[in-house]
């Protein structure tokens, strides 16, 4: 077992603790389950990161959203070679969105359901002047009823808008985060577009570059839309993705995205209704034609029988 700050015991069985990964742990003092992660103090971390994060955690505590994980504790953790920070967050009985996507556990309805909840969380934080700045498929947890909990709120803002580049987060960063380390609401929308694309097509829209320069080239190259299956059912959702990630005529608010999602659900409902009506009509036609077909078969059989009978009688005369 691995202990952090002599209070938290990590319950997951990884041989080594990965920086930035959320681990299930037990708080020995309060005897509750929590999530804990270790943040490496490297060139991306601001010198005032910890006191800033304390302030952001206080702001988080005032946000009334079931979809945003609260920070319970944080502090400094030392390994043999370096200084790190630990962040303890409330526990949520779910799995990472990445696992939900890769496990094919989502249809278009559940994708929209999850997206709407992400947007509601973002809206609640924006109303409190707090962006996320480091959304990935690994810090959004989903339960069996598609309820969600978003982690890592406050980390990028406490770091003066600089994303700390944990794990493969480079594939979820907006161009201006990669270029000039600037984070805002548009950064969150861009990331949401990437997550939504992966949810629909089970692939990253730009791929994941090995470094920042390559990632920017992949984004500049754009998405090859010929490699994905766009159809009447998902095209409205794909158009939302396009507006989330493009560089001009972007969404200006959470409400605008929610409105387009609602339009998509209405269109999808109409398509499903039309398909259902068509099936019902076909079934009625088949039901109506069935007796007629049986009558025709019997008539033909009677005519054939009479013809044979007349032929036999004629031969005997």
Tens-place pLDDT, residues 288-308? 555 666 666 666 666 666 665
Residue 164: closest CA among 142, 127, 198, 136: 136
Determine phi and psi for 269, rounding to 5 degrees.
-65, -40
CB neighbourhood size of 10 (10 A): 17
Q: In what order do the strands lie in the sheet with 8-10?
A: 2-4, 8-10, 23-27, 32-40, 83-90, 71-78
Residue 37 DSSP symbol:
E
Q: Which two tokens stand for residue 200?
A: 């629909």
pLDDT at 252: 94
pLDDT bracket for residue 285 (50, 70, 90): very low
- From 130-144, 175-189, 210-224, 280-294, the region with the lowest mean pLDDT: 280-294
Determine phi and psi for 89, rounding to 5 degrees.
-125, 160
CB neighbourhood size of 137 (10 A): 23
Q: Which two tokens stand for residue 122?
A: 């973002």
Q: Which two tokens stand for residue 288?
A: 């109506």
pLDDT at 275: 46
Stronger pLDDT, 289 or 8, i.e. the higher one: 8
- From 180-194, 198-212, 241-255, 296-310, the region with the lowest mean pLDDT: 296-310
Instruction: Give the Cα-Cα-Cα angle 138, 143, 147 (nearest 5 degrees).
Output: 95
Cβ atoms of 122 and 132 within 8 Å: the answer is: yes
Residue 72 DSSP symbol:
E
What confidence tens digit (pLDDT) does each residue in 81-117 have? 889 999 999 999 999 999 999 998 899 999 999 999 9
DSSP string for residues in 227-242: GS---TTTHHHHHHHH
Percentage, residues of the chain above pLDDT 70: 84
Our measurement of the distance from residue 107's CA atom to the centroid of its chain's CA atoms, rounded to an integer in Å, reads: 11
Q: Which distant-in-sequence residues (6+ apart) come within 8 Å of 258 by Cβ? A: 116, 119
* Rounded Cα–Cα distance for residues 249 and 219 (Å): 17
Rounded to whole angstroms, what are the CA distances from 50 to 2, 31, 37, 154, 177? 22, 25, 14, 11, 21
Which residue has 């498929």 as its token pair?
137
* Rounded Cα–Cα distance for residues 105 and 145 (Å): 11
* Rounded Cα–Cα distance for residues 254 and 263 (Å): 15
What confidence tens digit (pLDDT) does each residue in 122-176 have? 999 999 999 999 999 999 999 999 999 999 999 999 999 999 998 778 999 999 9
pLDDT bracket for residue 281 (50, 70, 90): very low
Q: Which two tokens stand for residue 291?
A: 């007796």
Average pLDDT over residues 61-78: 94
pLDDT at 293: 62
Residue 98: closest CA among 66, 154, 140, 128: 140
3-state class percentages of the chain: helix first, strand second, coil last, to nearest 5: 50, 15, 35
Percentage, residues of the chain above pLDDT 90: 73
254 pLDDT above the threshold of 80: yes
pLDDT at 72: 97
pLDDT at 16: 82
Q: How many helices (H) and strands (E) does the chain have?
A: 9, 9
């Amino acid at each position: 077992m691995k202990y952090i700050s002599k209070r938290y015991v990590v319950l997951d069985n990884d041989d080594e603790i990965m920086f930035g990964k959320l681990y299930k742990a037990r708080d020995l003092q309060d005897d509750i389950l929590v999530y804990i992660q270790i943040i490496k103090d490297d060139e991306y971390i601001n010198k005032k990161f910890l006191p800033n994060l304390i302030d952001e955690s206080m702001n988080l505590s005032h946000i009334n959203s079931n979809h945003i994980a609260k920070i319970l504790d944080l502090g400094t953790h030392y390994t043999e070679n370096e200084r790190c920070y630990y962040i303890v967050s409330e526990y949520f009985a779910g799995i990472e969105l990445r696992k939900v996507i890769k496990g094919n556990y989502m249809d278009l309805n559940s994708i929209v359901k999850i997206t709407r909840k992400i947007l509601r969380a973002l809206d609640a934080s924006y109303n409190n002047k707090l962006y996320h700045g480091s959304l990935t498929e690994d810090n959004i947890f989903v339960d069996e009823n598609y309820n969600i909990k978003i982690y890592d709120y406050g980390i990028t803002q406490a770091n003066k808008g600089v994303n700390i580049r944990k794990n493969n987060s480079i594939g979820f960063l907006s161009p201006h985060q990669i270029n000039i380390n600037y984070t805002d609401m548009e950064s969150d929308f861009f990331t949401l577009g990437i997550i939504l694309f992966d949810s629909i097509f089970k692939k990253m829209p730009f791929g994941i570059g090995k470094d920042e320069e390559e990632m920017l080239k992949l984004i500049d190259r754009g998405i090859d839309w010929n490699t994905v299956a766009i159809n009447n059912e998902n095209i409205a959702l794909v158009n939302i993705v396009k507006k989330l990630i493009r560089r001009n005529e972007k969404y200006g608010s959470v409400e605008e995205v929610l409105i387009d999602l609602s339009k998509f659900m209405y269109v999808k409902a109409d398509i499903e209704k039309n398909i259902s009506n068509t099936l019902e009509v076909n079934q009625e036609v088949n039901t109506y034609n069935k007796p007629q077909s049986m009558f025709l078969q019997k008539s033909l059989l009677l005519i054939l029988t009479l013809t044979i009978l007349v032929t036999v009688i004629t031969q005997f005369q």
